[in-house]
Structure 1
Amino acid sequence: MTPEDIHGDAVAARAKLTQVLADTGDLTDPAWRVAFETVPRHVFVPFFYDHAGNRISSDDPDTRAQWFTAVHEDRSLVTHRTNGAATSSSSQPSLMAGMLQALEVTDGMRVLEIGAGTGYNAALLAHRLGDDQVVTIDISHDITAPARDRLAVAGHGPLVVTGDGSFGWPDRAPYDRIMVTCRLDSIPPALVAQLAEGGFILAPLGNALARIHRTGRRSAAGRFLPSGAFFMRLRRGAGDGVPSRRPELPTGEGRASALPAAAIGDNAFRFLVSIVEPGLTWQYDVDDDRRITGARVWAEDGSLAELRPDGTVTEIGPRPVWGNLEAAHRIYRDADQPGPDRYGVTVDERGQRVWLDSPDGPSWALTT
C-alpha cells in the first residue's frame, strides 16, 4: 500500500467497519451510520502504539499495512503516552457508537465533549450537529493541537479548547448534552451547572456509563446503562500518566479472605469495585486455564493487599482496601449479583452517592 492508495481504500474500509457495527447491533441510528461512513478515522489516527509500545504509523512503510488494518477494525488504539504510560486513545468504534446514540441528540442541540483525544469523536458530533454546536476540551496542548489540525483536514471546525475538563467551558454554556470520554470518579459540579434545562451528562462513572440529568442548580440524578465502559481516567494536570509503582508486599501470616479469587474476574462486581475503591491497580496470578488464583492490589495512598493462592490475604497501608472489597462483595452477593443498570447516582449539596436499586438502598459516597 502506498500513501496515495490510503484515502481511496479507506472509503471501502470505513463502509465495511460501519456494516460490522450495524450487523452486531452497535450502530442502529441512520444519522450516526452516515457519520461513521463519512468521517475518516484514519485521518485522526495517523499512528498508534501497540502493547509493546512500538509506534505503528501510516508514514512508515514497514508498519503502514498493519496501521491501516487496525484503524478500520473495531478496536481501541493508544495514541498518546506520557512517561511511558498510555494517556490518550482512540476509543473502540462500537463503544463510541453506543455512547453517541445514548446521547439522544436532535438537530440544534449543543454538545460539550470532555476528552478531545484524537478529535475523531468531535468530528462525528460535528458531522451530525454542525461545527458551531460542538465544543471539545482536553488537558494538553500536545493533544488538542493535533486534534484541531486533523479536524481541519477532515473538513470540520468545532471549538477545540485546551484546559481542565472538570471545569467544562462556560463561555458556550448551557449545553443540551455533555459527553465525557474519560473515566470519572465523581461528577464535577461545574458540568452540572453548565447543563441546559432538560439536559444530561453521559459519562463513564467508574466502569460503566451513567446518564445524569440536572434536577436543580447544583443537583442532578441518574441511572447507569447496562454495559460496562472502560476508559482512561480524567487527567487534571501534567503529573498524570506516571506509571504506578507497587509498594512492598506485606509479610507474615494472612487471614482467610471472604472475597474469592474468582470474584475478581466478575465484570459486574468489578463495576462496584470501581465505585467503592476507584483508581486501584491490580496484578494477577493465573493458572493454565487463565483463571485467577491470586492477586495484588494497591491504591494511590499506598494501601496494598495480597491475595495468596491458599485463599489468605494480607494488608498494609492506611486503609483496609481488601476489607472494603469484601464488604462490597457481601452486598453484591446478597443482591443477586446486580449489573450496572441496577445502580443510580445522586448529586446534591450534601455530596454524591451511588446507590443500589433506589436512593434508600445500599449506597457509597463518591470522593469529590
Structure 2
Amino acid sequence: MSTETDLDQEAAQLRAKLVQTLVDVGDLTDPAWRDAFEKVPRHKCAPYFYDHTGRKIAGDDPETREQWLTAVHGNRPLVTHRTDGSATSSSSQPSIMATMLEALRVADGMRVLEVGAGTGYNAALLAHRLGDDNVVTIDVSPDITGPARERLAATGHHPLVVTGDGAFGWPDKAPYDRILVTCQLSTVPPALVRQLAEGGFILAPLGNALARIRRTGERTAEGAFLPGGAFFMPLRRGAGDGQPTRRPALPEAVGRPTHVPAAAVANNDYRFLLSIAVPGLTWQYDLDDERKPTGARVWAPDGSIADLKADGTVTEAGPRNLWSCLEAEYDTFLGAGEPGPERYGVAINEDAQRVWLDTPDGQGWNLTP
C-alpha cells in the first residue's frame, strides 16, 4: 500500500519530466518560473478531475489513481469543477500557464491579481515566485475558492483567496503591477484597468488569444495581442453564468455550397478573428482518422446554428444566417493575408472597446459584453 510520502516522491519524478517537456518545446525559458514549476506540486491542487464523459478521476480512488497521476503530470488541461453537468472550472494546460506567466514579465516585489482562482495551482506558482503577500486570487463561487484555499495551503502557500465577481477585481489590495486573467473575456472590465499601477498591465485571453493591455489614463487603455491561441472558459459572474449554450435543433433545410472549407475551423488564426467578430460561438466537429475536421456544427447564444457537412454544403437555422457571417469574415481573413493575432491590437475608452487590424485607425470590430 502506497503512502503519502511515496505519492509525493512519485509525483516529484513525474513533475520533473513535465518540466523538462515544457523546457524542450520552448514554453518554459525563465529559470525562476522553471523553479516554480519544479517545486509546486500540481497533484495537491488537483486531487481529482473529470474526463470527457463526466466521470470523476481521483487520486484517492484505487481504480483511477494511476490515470489521475499520469494526467495531472501531463501537458493537458483538467476539468475540475462542474455545475449542472457543465464544466465551469479547470486547471489550465501547463504549457499555456508557462507561456502566460513568462508573458507577465514580473520582477521581485511586484503585486499580482489573478482573476480566476480555479484549483489554486496558478496562484501557488505566483506565490512561489513573488511571495504570498504579493498575490491575490479571486473567483466567483465559494465552491471554488474554498477548496482552492485548502489546496494552496497543502502546497505551503497562503496568498489571499477571495470570493467575488472578478470583473470588479479586488480594490482593497490595489494597485497591482500585473493583473492576470485566466478566463476568457468578451470585453475588458473597466475596474481592472483602474486597479493597475502606473506602468502595469493586464494579461488576458480576449477572444481566443492573449492580449497585453496597458493603462493609458483613468478610463483608457491600449494593448496588443500575442501570437498563438488561448482557449479558456468564459468569465463567470454568478450562478449558472459561463456555462456552454445548449445546442439548438439542427437545421432541416436543403444544404447550399460554401467556400469556407472544413479545414478552416481548425485554423487558429481564422478562429481568433471569429472570436472577435462573431463572439460566443460553440463548436462541434466531425474528425477523420487523422483528427482533421470533415464537418462541423456551430451555434450562437441567440439560437442561430449552422451545420457544415462533409460534402461541403451547409445548412442554417435561427434568427440569423450564422454561416453567412462566418463566410464574410473568412473573406476578410483571406483578403488581409490570413493575419495571426499578433497583427491585431485593442483600444479601450469610456465609451467603447475596439479591436483593430494592423493600425489603430485600420479595419476594426467593436467588442460587446
Is 1:59 aligned to residue 56 of structure 2? no
> 2-side partners of 1:76 and 1:7: how far apart?
21
Look up the equivalent residue of 1:317 and give its one-letter code. G
Mapping for residues 7-26 of structure 1, pairs under 5 Å:
7-26=8-27
Residue of structure 2 equivalent to 1:338: 339
Residue of structure 2 equivalent to 1:324: 325
Residue of structure 1 equivalent to 2:188: 187
Note closer, same or farther for the CA distance 1:306–1:15 as it changes in structure 2 (3 Å cut).
closer
Report how far residue 158 of structure 1 moved: 0.6
Note closer, same or farther for the CA distance 1:336–1:214 as it changes in structure 2 (3 Å cut).
same
- TM-score, normalising length: structure 1: 0.95
SS of 1:20's equivalent in the other structure is: helix
Report how far residue 235 of structure 1 moved: 0.9
Residue of structure 2 equivalent to 1:91: 92
Residue of structure 1 equivalent to 2:367: 366
Residue of structure 2 equivalent to 1:124: 125
> 1-side partners of 2:166 and 2:243: how far apart?
19
> 2-side partners of 1:286 and 1:155: how far apart?
44
Residue of structure 1 equivalent to 2:150: 149
Deviations 1:26-52 (A, max 9, x none): 111111111111111111011111122
> 1-side partners of 2:65 and 2:240: how far apart?
33
Residue of structure 1 equivalent to 2:2: 2
Look up the equivalent residue of 2:209 and give its one-letter code. A
Contact 2:234 2:242 (8 Å CA) reproduced: no
Report how far residue 72 of structure 1 moved: 1.4
Look up the equivalent residue of 1:247 and give its one-letter code. P
Greater mean deviation of Cα atoms: 70-79 or 177-186: 70-79
Residue of structure 1 equivalent to 2:273: 272
Root-mean-square deviation (Å): 1.6
Structure 2, gaps ≥5 residues long: none
Look up the equivalent residue of 2:218 and give its one-letter code. R
Contact 2:138 2:164 (8 Å CA) reproduced: yes
Note closer, same or farther for the CA distance 1:199–1:304 as it changes in structure 2 (3 Å cut).
same
Mapping for residues 1-368 of structure 1, pairs under 5 Å:
2-4=2-4, 5-240=6-241, 242-287=243-288, 289-368=290-369
Look up the equivalent residue of 1:144 and give its one-letter code. T
Contact 2:80 2:91 (8 Å CA) reproduced: yes
Note closer, same or farther for the CA distance 1:19–1:296 as it changes in structure 2 (3 Å cut).
closer
SS of 1:364's equivalent in the other structure is: strand
Deviations 1:38-94 (A, max 9, x none): 111111011111122111111111211221122112111111111111111111111
SS of 1:112's equivalent in the other structure is: strand
Contact 1:85 1:241 (8 Å CA) reproduced: no
Aligned length: 368
Structure 1, gaps ≥5 residues long: none
> 2-side partners of 1:294 and 1:69: how far apart?
32
Contact 1:83 1:242 (8 Å CA) reproduced: no
> 2-side partners of 1:355 and 1:243: how far apart?
27
> 2-side partners of 1:252 and 1:70: how far apart?
43
SS of 2:337's equivalent in the other structure is: coil
Note closer, same or farther for the CA distance 1:252–1:71 as it changes in structure 2 (3 Å cut).
closer
Contact 2:83 2:240 (8 Å CA) reproduced: no
> 2-side partners of 1:284 and 1:17: how far apart?
29
Greater mean deviation of Cα atoms: 337-346 or 304-313: 304-313
SS of 1:228's equivalent in the other structure is: coil
Note closer, same or farther for the CA distance 1:63–1:101 as it changes in structure 2 (3 Å cut).
same
Note closer, same or farther for the CA distance 1:316–1:153 as it changes in structure 2 (3 Å cut).
same
Look up the equivalent residue of 1:32 and give its one-letter code. W
> 2-side partners of 1:241 and 1:210: how far apart?
20
> 1-side partners of 2:62 and 2:189: how far apart?
44
Contact 1:86 1:241 (8 Å CA) reproduced: no
Report how far residue 288 of structure 1 moved: 5.0
> 1-side partners of 2:67 and 2:97: how far apart?
22
Contact 2:202 2:213 (8 Å CA) reproduced: yes
- TM-score, normalising length: structure 2: 0.95
Deviations 1:144-171 (A, max 9, x none): 0011011112111111011111111111
> 1-side partners of 2:177 and 2:243: how far apart?
35
Note closer, same or farther for the CA distance 1:174–1:23 as it changes in structure 2 (3 Å cut).
same
Contact 2:253 2:316 (8 Å CA) reproduced: no
Deviations 1:277-335 (A, max 9, x none): 22211233344554433332211111222334443433332333222211111111011
Report how far residue 255 of structure 1 moved: 3.9
Contact 2:354 2:365 (8 Å CA) reproduced: yes
Contact 1:185 1:206 (8 Å CA) reproduced: yes
Report how far residue 128 of structure 1 moved: 0.7
Contact 2:175 2:196 (8 Å CA) reproduced: yes
SS of 1:332's equivalent in the other structure is: helix
> 2-side partners of 1:250 and 1:176: how far apart?
49
> 2-side partners of 1:108 and 1:83: how far apart?
41
